[in-house]
Amino acid sequence: MASKPAFSETRRARLERKEALILEAARSVFVTAGFDGARMSEIARRAEIGEGTIYSYYESKAELMLAVLQQFWDGLTREAEAVMASVEAPDFLVRLEALARYHLATVIRNADFINLTFALRRTNSEVSVSRDHLRQYVAVFDRLFLRGQDRGELRQDAVLWQARDVFYGALEYSARSIEVTMDSPRPDREQQPVVDQMVALFRAHYAIDRATARTESHAANRVERKLDQLSDQLAALEKRLP
């Protein structure tokens, strides 16, 4: 009886390893040939398995494409969350810099597949990545931004979706610019100026200057005390009136 669980786990690991090979090969073929041009026989050849084996995991090419998309975007979300967890500093701008650096490098490194992802969203709803997967990924930024507002680091009147569009839109545009000007991805030191500009933009438009905030708070307190004094004086005058 004790040997059955061990056998089952070994078999499960073998099945999972084979599925990982299928997904890796499928992603490569989809990027090279596109969804319509991809052939299951070529995916099987690259995975070094029989074509029939693929159908024991996925009923169709569309189902396989969806699995590749889900694996990719779920992986990006986990990586982005890990980046946030690795940053010890609580400051919004420090954490924003780490997320910006990760996102820019990721878009450059996976440009072909990301381009395919959004092309499918425009042309083939059957195999496009779901909004839920995209929301889960951008929610990493959303949580960071809302936390910055809760900590008093960001303006309370700042609109989340606008800030999100600025962050992802600007970085993805910069990534495309880097792609068309370089034969290979730029090293981190050449991506850093883009990240620095993003941090500077958020500092200028969304961050609250702590010194200014303290000054404004002191001024507000002085005004409040003055109003209290005037209120007391008015109350005293009312008592004197006949």
- Three-state secondary structure readout of 26-83: HHHHHHHHHHHHCCHHHHHHHHCCCHHHHHHHCCCHHHHHHHHHHHHHHHHHHHHHHH
Cβ-based neighbours of 118, under 8 Å, separated by 6 or more = none
DSSP for 157-186, written as a single string = T--HHHHHHHHHHHHHHHHHHHHHH-SSPP
Task: Tell me how many domains the chain contains.
Answer: 2
For residue 95, being part of any structural domain is answered with: yes
> In angstroms, how far is CA 83 from the centroid of its own chain?
11
Q: How many CB atoms lie within 10 A of CB 39?
A: 12
Residues 200 and 81 in one domain: yes
Q: What is the pLDDT of residues 190-221, one digit of tens each?
A: 789 999 999 999 999 999 975 544 444 455 55
Residues 110 and 180 in one domain: yes
Domain that holds residue 118: 66-208
Predicted TM-score (pTM) of this structure: 0.77
pLDDT of residue 93: 97
Residues 72 and 167 in one domain: yes
For residue 40, being part of any structural domain is answered with: yes
Q: Which residues of 163-196 are buried (b: 16+ CB within 10 A; e: fewer)?
A: beeebbebbbebbeebbeeeeeebeeeebeebbe
Residues 73 and 189 in one domain: yes
DSSP letter assigned to residue 207: B
Question: What residues pair up with 207 in beta bridges, in sequence order?
Answer: 154
The mean pLDDT of the chain is: 85
Residues 10 and 99 in one domain: no
What residue spans of 87-209 are helical by DSSP H?
92-109, 111-123, 131-150, 160-181, 188-205
Which of residues 236 and 112 earns the better pLDDT score?
Answer: 112
Residues 50 and 120 in one domain: no
Residues 15 and 74 in one domain: no
Q: Is the pLDDT of residue 131 over 70?
A: yes
> pLDDT band at 142, cuts 50/70/90?
very high
For residue 8, being part of any structural domain is answered with: yes
Torsion region of 124: left, alpha or beta (phi above 0 gives left; psi -120 to 50 gives alpha): beta
Cβ-based neighbours of 175, under 8 Å, separated by 6 or more = 104, 107, 108, 111
Residues 33 and 123 in one domain: no
> Poorest-confidence range of 116-120, 130-134, 227-231?
227-231
Residues 42 and 139 in one domain: no
